[in-house]
Structure 1
Amino acid sequence: MNLELFIANKIKSGGISGKRLAGPVVKVAVAGIVLGMVVMIISVATGMGFQKEIREKIIGFGSHIQVVSYDFNMSYQTNPVEQDSMLEQQMLSVPGVEHVQRFATKPGLIKTRDEMQGIVLRGVGPEFDWSFFQTILTEGGRLSLNEEKSSNGVLISDDLASVLNLEVGDRVPMYFFEDQIRARNFTIEGIFDSHLPELDETFVMVDIRQVQRLNNWSENKISGYELLAGDFEDLMMTGSNVAEVVSGHISEDGTMLRTRTIQQTQPQIFGWLDLLDMNIIVIIVLIVLVAGFNMITGLLILILERTNMIGVLKAMGMADRPLRKVFLTLAANITIKGLFWGNLLGLGFCFAQSYFGFVKLDPANYFLDTVPIHLSALHIILLNVGAVLTIFLMMIGPSYLVARISPVKAIRFE
């Protein structure tokens, strides 16, 4: 067996005579690393999970990329563009684009006997991707859309249903204002709840043909296209590639197109989400520093406790480098043990929360009803590698204390 490893194991187990502080010191050092690793894993998992959940909710209402008229204004009363099947195929061929769907919007007002609420009709076609809304539906079902016949159904949020005292199957009168007031009656087919009040209280999902009629558009006129991308991290590049495709497209009536990514349409929310990255980094740095200083303290105590042993080994001819290696090996042993149990407990909590959701949140404050969890193997590897490197670098300095111990004074040390 390697001599340095043998001595380190003896110190850890208390097998070498001394003041017998090694056992408690090692346990405290291991516990510090375990606690730090658990906190870091949970911080990263919940921070990334929160970002992912909120991002998916925003994208569910607005897609990754929108292609709209070049003179598109910021209101929901939009300028139309012509539907073009060739353009749709060109956008689908862009790397990163997975789905293309039409949309049209129309602002209006819901008025019941006792209440009224301003809303925006969001018209969608049969090709609409309902995967997000399937996850937030609380009552009823999604809209039944087909190419042959337009639907008179709508999806409204739980917030609107509560305010207006509406249920699935109720008829909803809506009013739209242009040169004259236009009234339409719709039937509620489903109720959803995304826990995002700003969006829930705004959008009502409806057949796109209903919006086209309200806007006095022909069947080939729409507000624009919504594109769903595969990887959010590459969204800016995908958006640029889509912009190159649509920038050269000019319709027969002279309308030009432009693109908007979800980050451009919702800059406040994504700016707020980006701040979470800084919070996670600050937490990780603080935890690693605390764990590192905890290890420094433990190593110094172990060195001072074994001063007599160090003097004897030096007197027997052992050099400073192998002696330093003894204590660095002991520190590495403590670190690995702490990381093992820290990963086990941290990942165990994350998996349990992911499957059972036992830690609840108030949706009114956090926009989610349970603590979200999102982790990848890369996150875990980076956390562990970063912790090992940081703690090891912090251990090098205290290990030089061994070289300053005089054999004569150390042997006489009590």
Structure 2
Amino acid sequence: MNLELFIAKKIHFNKDGRKKVSPPAIRIATLGVALGLAIMIISVAIVVGFKHEVSGKVIGFSSHIQISGFSNNSSFETLPIGVSDSLQAALKQNPEILYIENFATKPGILKTDNEFLGIALKGVDKNYDWSFFEKNLLAGVPPHLSDSAISNEILISHYIANKLHLEAGDQILCYFIDDNIRARKFEITGIYQTNFTEYDKLFIIGDVRHVQKLNRWGTDQFSGIEVKLRDFSKLDEVTENLYFDLMNCTDRYGEHYFVRSVRELNPQLFNWLDLLDMNVWVILILMAVVAGFTMISGLLIIILERTNMIGILKALGATNYSIRKIFIYISIFLVGKGMIWGNIIGILLCLLQAHFKLIKLDPDVYYIPAVPIELNFGYILILNISCLVISLLMLIGPSYLVSLIRPAKSIKFE
């Protein structure tokens, strides 16, 4: 029989299961643990959700990895690379690659009777995965692309539609400037809104064959290849492998391949997202310290309350180690109760925000209309274990106060 655990239960609970230690300071200590853990859960859920949402929008526009020509710069007026069947087959055989897509870009000007706006036409083929734009579609449908003929259907953003007063089903002229000015009439089949302003202001999506024809490219020439991975955590590894695999390869036109990850294409954005991790660590450390110190104060109050009992136990032959274990067990009960309430509060608030979007954000600043939440129960388990371990480690020191209590004086203590 574990005598220390038995005594701790007797101190902490009566036969009806109601709590016996009642000072407000004890309740405050338990509340401190509950609020600390709840804030940790909410902070991690928000940051994980925010990083997932923002990076997902960037990846939706440009995929995980882009393979282009060395001579291509940040302009949307690019030089082509030849995409052979053998290159596509080799990429598809890579077990880390989910799928690949050819694309081409061309800057242009959309013009109505009263307005005009500079844009970039992103040309895609019939195998393009529209799932990202379908999730962000406000009206209409994505363009229908086929092998039979060049499609004049395009998808535009809500920003562009508002600027030019356009709706799904409207037709519009787009002018492309090269050696001379050439116009194309497009039909708007759908309007999307990602709230990622930098891209929403710029991109319209249409048939890649328009770009090839405007640039006088061959049917195997594109601005590049977009590569979607199965696992984002292997982004750097796969990018490095592809870079070295294609470093010395050239297409049939003599152009070298250049491999870049989405992190390299958008360094400022991903550096900003990485800074959020530091903010979370600061919050986690502060909350752990606050919860730990509230439990220390609670433990000290319990020990002072039980000074008389400690003296009696020592007079009966109990060791300091044995008495310390009693109070550590009591602390575990208090921390455990605080953690239960912390999980309930934290997860409940996260679920409310995830389903009802109670806290709104300015999408022009944060790229999303509401505070995002992503509950990862692996992270929650780690937070619970860490909170328990840190709290108990911080309680070991104060428990040594037991050794300073003398039986002769403490038995008389009231």
TM-score bucket of the superposed structures, by smaller chain: over 0.9
RMSD between superposed Cα atoms in Å: 1.6
2:343 aligns with 343
1:398 aligns with 398
Q: What letter corresponds to residue 28 of structure 2 in structure 1?
A: V
Is the alpha carbon distance of 1:14 and 1:408 closer, same or farther for their aligned partners in structure 2, counting shifts above 3 Å? Answer: farther
Which sits farther off after the overlay, 95-104 or 237-246? 237-246
Secondary structure of 2:58's match? helix
Q: Which runs of structure 2 are paired with 1:365-376 in the superposition (5 Å)?
A: 365-376=365-376
Secondary structure of 1:36's match? helix
2:77 aligns with 77
The CA distance in 2 between the partners of 1:310 and 1:122, in whole Å, is: 77
Q: What letter corresponds to residue 189 of structure 1 in structure 2?
A: T
- How far did 1:283 drift? 0.6
The CA distance in 2 between the partners of 1:184 and 1:307, in whole Å, is: 89
Is contact 1:25–1:302 with CA below 8 Å preserved after alignment? no
Is contact 2:361–2:369 with CA below 8 Å preserved after alignment? yes
The CA distance in 2 between the partners of 1:383 and 1:149, in whole Å, is: 56
The superposition leaves residues 37-57 of structure 1 with CA deviations (integer Å, 9 ceiling, x where unpaired) of: 111111100110000000000
The superposition leaves residues 201-259 of structure 1 with CA deviations (integer Å, 9 ceiling, x where unpaired) of: 01110100011111121212111100001111110001112223322421222111010
2:316 aligns with 316
The superposition leaves residues 128-186 of structure 1 with CA deviations (integer Å, 9 ceiling, x where unpaired) of: 11111110000001110111221101111101111111111111111111221112111
| 1:279 maps to 2:294 | no
Q: Which runs of structure 2 are paired with 1:21-100 in the superposition (5 Å)?
A: 22-100=22-100
The CA distance in 2 between the partners of 1:240 and 1:91, in whole Å, is: 14
Secondary structure of 2:384's match? helix
Q: What letter corresponds to residue 172 of structure 1 in structure 2?
A: I
Is contact 1:67–1:226 with CA below 8 Å preserved after alignment? yes
Q: Which runs of structure 2 are paired with 1:84-163 in the superposition (5 Å)?
A: 84-163=84-163
1:209 aligns with 209
Secondary structure of 1:151's match? coil
Q: What letter corresponds to residue 144 of structure 1 in structure 2?
A: H
The CA distance in 1 between the partners of 2:94 and 2:106, in whole Å, is: 29
Which sits farther off after the overlay, 378-387 or 316-325? 378-387
- How far did 1:355 drift? 3.6
Is contact 2:12–2:21 with CA below 8 Å preserved after alignment? no
- How far did 1:66 drift? 0.4
The CA distance in 2 between the partners of 1:90 and 1:99, in whole Å, is: 12
Is contact 2:126–2:145 with CA below 8 Å preserved after alignment? yes
Is contact 2:83–2:251 with CA below 8 Å preserved after alignment? no
- How far did 1:9 drift? 2.1
The superposition leaves residues 10-65 of structure 1 with CA deviations (integer Å, 9 ceiling, x where unpaired) of: 322479xxxx8645343222221111111111110011000000000000011100
Which sits farther off after the overlay, 370-379 or 85-94? 370-379
- How far did 1:310 drift? 0.8
**TM-score scaled by structure 2?**
0.95
- How far did 1:334 drift? 1.1
Q: Which runs of structure 2 are paired with 1:240-389 in the superposition (5 Å)?
A: 240-389=240-389
The CA distance in 2 between the partners of 1:83 and 1:234, in whole Å, is: 24
Which sits farther off after the overlay, 142-151 or 99-108? 142-151
Secondary structure of 2:166's match? coil
Which sits farther off after the overlay, 362-371 or 29-38? 362-371
The CA distance in 2 between the partners of 1:28 and 1:252, in whole Å, is: 73
- How far did 1:367 drift? 1.6
2:197 aligns with 197
- How far did 1:311 drift? 0.9
Q: What letter corresponds to residue 132 of structure 1 in structure 2?
A: F
- How far did 1:350 drift? 2.4
1:412 aligns with 412
Secondary structure of 2:371's match? coil
The CA distance in 2 between the partners of 1:289 and 1:362, in whole Å, is: 33
Structure 2 residues not aligned, in runs of 5+: none
The CA distance in 2 between the partners of 1:266 and 1:151, in whole Å, is: 31
- How far did 1:69 drift? 0.9
Secondary structure of 1:408's match? helix
Is the alpha carbon distance of 1:80 and 1:88 closer, same or farther for their aligned partners in structure 2, counting shifts above 3 Å? Answer: same
Q: What letter corresponds to residue 81 of structure 2 in structure 1?
A: V
Q: What letter corresponds to residue 197 of structure 1 in structure 2?
A: T
The superposition leaves residues 290-316 of structure 1 with CA deviations (integer Å, 9 ceiling, x where unpaired) of: 000000000011111111111111111
Is contact 1:22–1:302 with CA below 8 Å preserved after alignment? no
Which sits farther off after the overlay, 335-344 or 360-369? 360-369
The CA distance in 2 between the partners of 1:254 and 1:21, in whole Å, is: 81
Q: What letter corresponds to residue 218 of structure 1 in structure 2?
A: G
Identity of aligned residues (%): 43
- How far did 1:361 drift? 2.9
- How far did 1:191 drift? 0.3
- How far did 1:372 drift? 1.4
The CA distance in 2 between the partners of 1:364 and 1:236, in whole Å, is: 29
Residue correspondences, number: 410
Secondary structure of 2:324's match? helix
**TM-score scaled by structure 1?**
0.95
Q: What letter corresponds to residue 239 of structure 1 in structure 2?
A: T
Which sits farther off after the overlay, 348-357 or 299-308? 348-357
Is contact 2:82–2:251 with CA below 8 Å preserved after alignment? yes
